[in-house]
Amino acid sequence: MADKDTVHPEEPRVENDTILADRMQHELHADGPRDTTDTVVADEKQHGIHAEKPKVDTDTNSIELHKSVTVDTLHNDEAVKVLANYDGDQSWEEEEEKRLRRKIDRKLLPILCLTYAVQYYDKSMLSQAAIFGLRKDLHLETGNRYSFTAAIFYLGFVAGAYPAIVMAQRFPIERVAFIIVFLWGICLTCTAACNNWQSIYAQRFFLGFLESGISPMFILVVGQFYKKNEQALRMGVWYCSTGYISVLSPLIDYGLGHIKGALSPWRYMYLLAGSVTILWSAVILFYLPPDPIRARCFDGRERYIAVARLRVNNAGVRNTHFKKEQLFDLLRDAKFWIVFSMSFLIMIVNGPVSNFAPIIIGGLGFNTFTSLLLVMPAAFVGGTFQIVAPYIAYKVPNSRAYLIAVCQTGTVIAALLLWLLPRYHTAGLLYGVYSLSCFGGSYAVLMGLQIANIAGYTKRSFGSSGLFVGYCFGNFVGPLLFKSKDAPSYTPAFAVVVVTSAVAGVLALVYRLICVRENNKRDKAGTMEGYDHAYDDDLTDTENPQFRYTL
């Protein structure tokens, strides 16, 4: 028997059976603004209104209106409850939708941006703490201990990604995010208590485990609030905070690094960062809008439009039931494995950017303070690519795979400079360090592409986690390529980065070719793009012949 959630409408209307059935069909199949929903009003006028209790019964997948509405939320998306309970005008003007979208931006994006900035600051602090005594105090200068300290974080990330996304599907996402951020704040604070390399290994693993759920959850949240063509830019908005927080963090850490006290300077850095993270977790709990169905910032009409306008995604909004057949669908999908591989290959270069940039720049002969200052342009370049590339994807339809390839070309050129230039070409080497960050634009676009091209709530949830598992493996392998014996040039590592970055760009074009062929195949089969199954079946993209892939 299907699980059923009962929602009581604020003011149930009285309509006869035929009108209600017609209305539900139109609500579930309509495609957005006024021109596609005027027929609903016409049908109601044609049939007339009768003062009798309405009832629509379609066996298990039923939607009934008596004094309450019962919706099958096992097979259907929870968005159906919002559509069934709304008694107002089902049409809206484009300007009304724009106002609503701006409201969503104001309520949602600042929380996503600041949370992701805090996360990136916390996990990347290692590279700046390293030049303030952490490597010496914890005996990380021996062999590849420092490299493994950077890498083990992502093993924890892999271990925690799927449990976190399962909890986010089953429980309110804002509460799951609060618990995760609160616990990682405590874990980060505990870094100050580490006294040897074994303890910092354990701390970094558990920090990665706790932080792992935030990125996949944020991808889901963006997919729940925005249309396909809006998602890429919003992904870039919160993801670019990783670059821009890195412009400020060297200045913050340099100031903290000069504290004179009983503890080593790097310990004060972790104590402050952990305390700020713990406080920020409360902001997430009370102010993060979870999805348009449950967000407290909407009135009834805004909620209806926020949900109804997402029909064009053909992917639903929320379904809390785990469906193993959708997981198997994901694992059989070649497109998922291409995206996974791109994520892995793109992120190998993140090792030198996140954990070795100050060390590489210091190897060019600069002192500690100058090295920190010279990291800032690299962070600014990264943040700019992370927002500009998604903005172009937003403005230029079907350009996403090409943008990934272009950004990867920039990273390849940068790695070639760092691999081949002599050490006395300081300007060229600095240009290479800064241009490495082009990969950030690739990954920002890839996140939006992945969520736009997966339907079915369970499949989307695990697909988002899978993307970040690839991210983790890349970040795990990257630091291990940079061996102490190769310092300060690390030329063998940059040779590997050239190859992996180039292959990622080629895979983006292969992914586009597969999507084009699948879209053409569905067009030739005579099934045009439509939204009949947007909410009522929780179909995956492979099951729904009306689904079309974004390029």
- 200-237 pLDDT, tens per residue? 999 999 999 999 889 889 988 998 899 988 988 999 99
Rounded distance, CA 489 to CA 486, Å? 6
pTM of the predicted model as reported, rounded to 2 decimal places: 0.76
Report how far residue 493's alpha carbon sits from residue 473's, in angstroms, rounded to the nearest whole number: 16
Residue 454 has pLDDT above 70, yes or no: yes
CATH fit for domain 96-524, picks 1.20.1250.20, 3.40.50.300, 3.20.20.70, 3.30.70.100: 1.20.1250.20
The pLDDT value recorded for residue 527 is: 79
pLDDT, mean of residues 39-65: 37
DSSP 208-261: HHHHTTHHHHHHHHHHHHS-HHHHHHHHHHHHTHHHHHHHHHHHHHHHHTT--S
Percentage of the residues of the chain whose pLDDT score is greater than 90: 42
| Kind and range of the H or E run holding 63 | strand 63-65
> With contact defined as beta carbons under 8 Å apart, do 412 and 501 qualify?
yes
Domain boundaries, the chain: 4-91, 96-524
pLDDT recorded at residue 533: 58
pLDDT tens for 277-304 read: 999 999 999 999 988 888 889 988 999 9
Is pLDDT at 359 greater than 80 in this prediction? Answer: no
Q: Which of 388, 404, 394, 397 is nearest to 510 (CA)?
A: 404
Give the pLDDT confidence score for residue 539 in this predicted structure.
82
Mean per-residue pLDDT for 304-332? 82
Q: What is the dihedral of CA 167, 172, 176, 178, to 10 degrees?
A: 180
Residue 535 confidence (pLDDT)? 59
Bridge partners for 5 per DSSP = 71
- Cβ-based burial of 413 (10 A; exposed 0-12, middle 13-18, buried ≥19): middle
pLDDT at 146 over 50: yes
> What average pLDDT does the segment 262-279 reach?
93
Which amino acid is located at 257 in the chain?
Answer: G
Residue tagged 């939320």 (tokens): 73
pLDDT at 316: 59
Element (H, E) at 7: strand 4-7
Q: In angstroms, what CA-CA distances link 463 with 217, 227, 315, 394?
A: 11, 18, 13, 22
Mean pLDDT of all residues in 376-385: 89
